[in-house]
Structure formats: C-alpha cells, structure tokens
C-alpha cells in the first residue's frame, strides 16, 4: 500500500478512487467513468491501468469492452478510506 499515498497525489487516480469509494458497487467503462468524474478518457485509462496493477480497482473484460470496479479486498478498501480521510483533512 506504499503506492497509495503517491497515487493520491495524481489528480485523475485520486478522482477515480474517490468515485469508487463513494460508489463501491459501481461498475463502468473508462468512457463512463470519465463522464461521471470528468476528464480525458486517455488519461483516465492510464490511471485505471495503474490502479488495476496496484489491486485497488478490478477490471472485467468481455469481447467488446472492459469495465472497472472497486476492489473487493477489505484490507485495501480500509487503507484507501484511511488515506482519503487524511487527504480530505477529516
């Protein structure tokens, strides 16, 4: 989880984590996520790839598209919530 603090410094990754933390049962494509939180889909895709690699977001691939969702790993979710609260100054 050492990369979480660094990832929260990235505006796009932070917005994605905030979005899924507030909508933990959400699942959407990169286009849908970029519409919900605002941002360039190419930049969003790069951030999603990094978050998937770190295990914070999961990807669900089909023949025609890839959808993204929050991790089900309770330990990771708890750490993300802890850092989000610190980041927001709560």
User: How would DSSP label each residue in 12-48?
Assistant: HHHHHHHHHHHSTT-EEEHHHHHHHH---HHHHHHHH
More confident residue, 90 or 44: 44
68 — pLDDT class (breaks 50, 70, 90): very high
Instruction: Tell me what pLDDT residue 1 has.
Output: 52
What average pLDDT does the segment 54-73 reach? Answer: 95
- Residue 2 reports pLDDT greater than 60: no
Q: In what order do the strands lie in the sheet with 27-29?
A: 27-29, 66-70, 57-61
- Residue 87 reports pLDDT greater than 80: no
Question: Does this model's pTM top 0.85?
Answer: yes
More confident residue, 3 or 26: 26
d(CA 3, CA 26): 23
């Amino acid at each position: 989880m050492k990369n979480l603090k660094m990832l929260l410094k990235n505006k796009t990754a932070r917005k994605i984590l905030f979005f899924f933390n507030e909508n933990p049962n959400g699942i959407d494509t990169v286009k849908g996520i970029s519409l919900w939180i605002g941002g360039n889909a190419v930049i969003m895709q790069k951030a999603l790839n990094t978050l998937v690699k770190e295990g914070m977001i999961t990807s669900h691939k089909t023949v025609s598209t890839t959808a993204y969702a929050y991790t089900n790993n309770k330990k990771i979710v708890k750490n993300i919530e802890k850092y989000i609260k610190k980041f927001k100054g709560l």
